[in-house]
Amino acid sequence: MAYDDQNIFARILRGELPAIKVYEDEQVLAFMDIMPQADGHTLVIPKSPAVTLLDLDPNTAAYTIQIVQKIAKAIENALDAKGIVLMQLSGAAAGQTVPHVHFHLIPSSIHELGKHAAQMGDQERIKALAEKIKAAL
């Protein structure tokens, strides 16, 4: 599948759409999911244009997972999370809803998760959680 540079994450990366950012460097962006499955649900995306994990350059994939680990540790510390669900849905058949490779970090147990992309979260609460995570970085 060809990369669609009009997908929501590509538009966030270009600054055309807002995001509640937690972390950013030259290769990766981490931001809060605005339709969270649990408080603190954070997304980590590489800035490289890739639809699925299989489309991602191996070096970029390796660097991205290092940042995923860094953000997961910050979530755990900031929110006193007892567990973190890491999801990476590759392809529409697997449930991927945005055609840009991304990793979900969800502080929760699998039994407490809400449905993926089901309803908009309280934006002020999401911003407050983002500040806690950023402070833990």
Residues serving a catalytic function are 102
For residues 53 and 50, give the distance between their C-alpha atoms in angstroms, rounded to a whole number. Answer: 7
For residues 33 and 104, is the Cβ–Cβ distance under 8 A? yes
Closest C-alpha among 24, 30, 31, 17 to residue 126: 31
**Rounded to the nearest 10 degrees, how much is the dihedral formed by the CA atoms of 14, 117, 40, 69?**
-70
